[in-house]
Chain A
Amino acid sequence: MESIIEEAVKELYEEREKRIQDAINLKVPDRVPVVCKGINWYFKTVPGVTARDMVTNNEKFMKVMIKFMLDFQPDAAWRPIPQDPLASVLVEPTPMVFPTEEDESWEPKIISKETMKVEDYNHIIKYGYVSLLMKYLPELRPDIPDPQKKLLDKLGLSGKPEEKPLPFKENVELLKKAGFPTYFLFELLSPFNCLTLLRTYPKMCLDLKRHPDLVKQAIDKMIPEMLSLTIRFSKECNVPRICIGLHRESATFFSPKIFDEVFFPEIKQIVELCRREGVTAILHCDGNWNPLLERLAELPKGTCVIQLDMDTDPFKAKEILGGKQCIDAGPMELEMATWTPEEIENYCKKLIEVVGDGGGFILKSEVSAEAKPENIRAFINAAKTYGIY
C-alpha cells in the first residue's frame, strides 16, 4: 500500500515540475503555477521552533518548510535552505543582523557599511571576487571566529571540514519525497549588487561617475566566478533554476544611460552563461523596471524568468514581454498584509486572466511575518480556481 502513496507523490512532483517548466518555456501548462516565499512567519505554528532556529537549525527549518508546503500546497518550494548567518555572506556581502531566540519574526536585516575601498576594484580584477570576500569576511561577519575556514566547511569545499556542510541536496530530496519541486535553491545577488553592498549606494554613485571602467571590469571578472559555483551546486541538486537578485540595476536607482552601459551587458552575460550551462536564470527585478521592460524584451526568447517586485506593472510587462520571457508576479508583502482575501483573490484572478493569457506566467507572492494566513490561502486558491487552461 505504501507504494501507492509513493507513486502518487511522484506523479504530483512531476506534474508540478512540468507545470513550472512549461511556463518558463513559454508553453501553456495545465494551469498557472503558483509559488510563495512565505515561511518567515509560519515557524510560530510549529511548537519548539524559534526565529533563531530558522537561520541556524536546518532540521527545524525543514520541518517548518515541509509543513508549510503541505498546508498551503504551492507548486514549488522557495529557496529551501536556512539563511545561514555565515553562508549568507555569499548572497549579501554586508554586515547583517540575524534574529534572536526572542524575535517574533525572522527577517535578517542588512547594515549599510562601506567595507570595500576604491582600490579593491583592482584586487577583484587581479585576484577575483572570492579573494576579496575572504579578505573582508572577518569584518562582514564579526561575531563568527575563523569565518574563512568555516565558510569553506559550510560549502563542503574544505579538505578537513570541522563544520557540517549545508545540506543543499538533502533538502531538495526531502521536498521531492513530499511531492514538491524546488523553484530555486540559490538566490544570488548580481555582481553589481554585491559591489554596491560592499561600497554603499552613495559611494557606488560616485564610483560609476569617477571610474566606470573599473566597475565594469570588476563585474566582468565576477560573473563567471560567482555563477560557476552556484550553477555547479544547483546542477548537483537537480534544480535547473537559480535566482539572481537585480536590485540596484532598476530605474529606481540609476539612469537608463548607466543601465545601457553597465547593467544590461551584465544581465546579458548572466542570462547567456546560465543558458549555456543548462539552467534558467530567474531575474528578481526589484524596484521599478517599467522603463526598462523594452530592454529586457531584447534578451533571447525564453531564456529567463522575469520576476517582478511591487514597483513594476505586471500588465505593462505582459504587453512588452509576453511571448518573449516568462513573467513571475503577484501580490507582495504590503498587499498580503493589508488587503482582504477578496481583494487578493480579485487581483490574482485579473493577473491570471491578463498576464497568464497564453501561458508564460507564474503566480507568486513574497510575504512577510505580518501577512494574513487567509490571504495566503486566497492567493494559492486563486491559481487553482482561475488558473486552469
Chain B
Amino acid sequence: MVGYNCGEWASLSDSELYKALVELDEEKVLSLVKRRLEKGEDPYQILEECRRAMTTVGEKFEKGEYFLNDLVIAGEIFKMVSELLKPKLEEGRGKREIGTMVIGTVQGDIHDLGKNIAKILLEAAGFRVYDLGVDVPPDAFVQAVKQYNPDIVGMSCLLTSAWKSIKKTVERLKEENLRDKVKIVLGGAMVNERVAEMVGADAWTNDAKKGVDICKKFVGAD
C-alpha cells in the first residue's frame, strides 16, 4: 500500500473543489476539475480533494445533516470526476487505504442499492473495495478472496431465500482454508443476529453507517 503524507497537500478542505463537492454542486465540480486538468495540475491532488469531500459528505450523512439522496448524488458526481481523471492516473498511486474488502450481493439475489450505498461509504472511509456485483456465486467470492486477499468479505442479502447462498459461501471459504483469514459481515434488510449465527458470519448490519463502523473496527481503524 502506498503511504499518504497528510502534509503533502495542504489545506485540502479549504479548496473550492472540496467545497463544491460537499455542497453537491455538480456543475461547479466538473468545471473546476476540467479547468485544473487543462492547467496541468496533479490529478492526484484533485482526486484527494474529492476523496476528502466524500468523507465529509459521509460524515454529514452519519450526523443526519445529509440524506441518502445527497450521499448518492455525491457518489454520482465523484464517479464523473473519476472518469475525467482516469486517463491521467496510474493504478494504485496516491491511495491511502485502511483496509481491503470484497463485497457482493449473494447468489439468488439481485438487489444492488444497499450494496452500492455501502460501497460509497466504505470507499469514503478509506477502504479499497472490490465489488463483485449481484447474484454472486459462492465460488466467485472464494476466487476474489484468493485474488485480492481482503480483510473483510461483505455479503448483501435482501431475500430470505438467499440465506442458503451465504451459508454455502461461508462453507466454501472454510473448505479452501480462507475462512480464518477474513471477517465476514452481512448487510441488508433480511439479516439479523440469528441469521448471522446460522450462516457463520462475524457480524451483521442493516444500516450502512453502522456497517462502516464494524468494518473499521475489524481493521483496527476505529
Contact = CB atoms under 8 A, between A and B. Distances in A.
A178 interface: no
Interface string B181-219: 000000001111011000000000000000000000000
Contacts of A107: 159, 161
A338 B195 contact: yes
Interface string A195-219: 0000001100110111000000000
Given A202-B76, A334-B192, A255 B161 contact: no
B68 interface: yes
Contact of A255 (B70, B116, B189): B70
B160 A334 contact: yes
Nearest to B25: A209
Contacts of B73: 205-206, 209
Contacts, number: 67
Interface string B156-179: 000111010000000000000000
A111 interface: yes
A252 B72 CA distance: 12
A97 B107 CA distance: 13
A228 interface: no
A206 B76 contact: yes
B159 A368 contact: yes
Given A202-B75, A334-B160, A368-B160, A109 B69 contact: no
A255 to B, nearest CB: 4
Given A202-B72, A333-B190, A254 B67 contact: yes
B59 to A, nearest CB: 17
Given A97-B110, A205-B73, A105 B192 contact: no
Nearest to B79: A202
B24 interface: yes
B167 to A, nearest CB: 12
Contacts of B163: 370
Nearest to B72: A205
A355 interface: no
B168 to A, nearest CB: 14
Nearest to B159: A107
A104 B73 CA distance: 38
A112 interface: yes
B189 A310 contact: yes
A210 B30 CA distance: 15
Interface in A55-113: 97, 104-105, 107, 109-112
A253 interface: yes
Interface string B13-43: 0000000000010100000000000000000
A337 interface: yes
Contacts of B191: 334
A173 to B, nearest CB: 32
B221 interface: no
Contacts of A111: 110
19 contacts: A105-B161, A107-B159, A107-B161, A109-B109, A109-B110, A109-B159, A112-B113, A202-B76, A205-B69, A205-B73, A206-B76, A209-B26, A210-B26, A252-B68, A253-B69, A255-B67, A255-B69, A338-B194, A338-B195
Given A333-B160, A338-B192, 7 more contacts: A110-B110, A112-B110, A209-B24, A210-B26, A334-B192, A338-B194, A370-B163
Interface of B: 24, 26, 67-70, 72-73, 75-76, 109-113, 116, 159-161, 163, 189-192, 194-195
8 smallest beta-carbon distances between A and B, as pairs: A370-B160, A255-B67, A368-B160, A205-B69, A338-B194, A205-B72, A254-B69, A109-B110
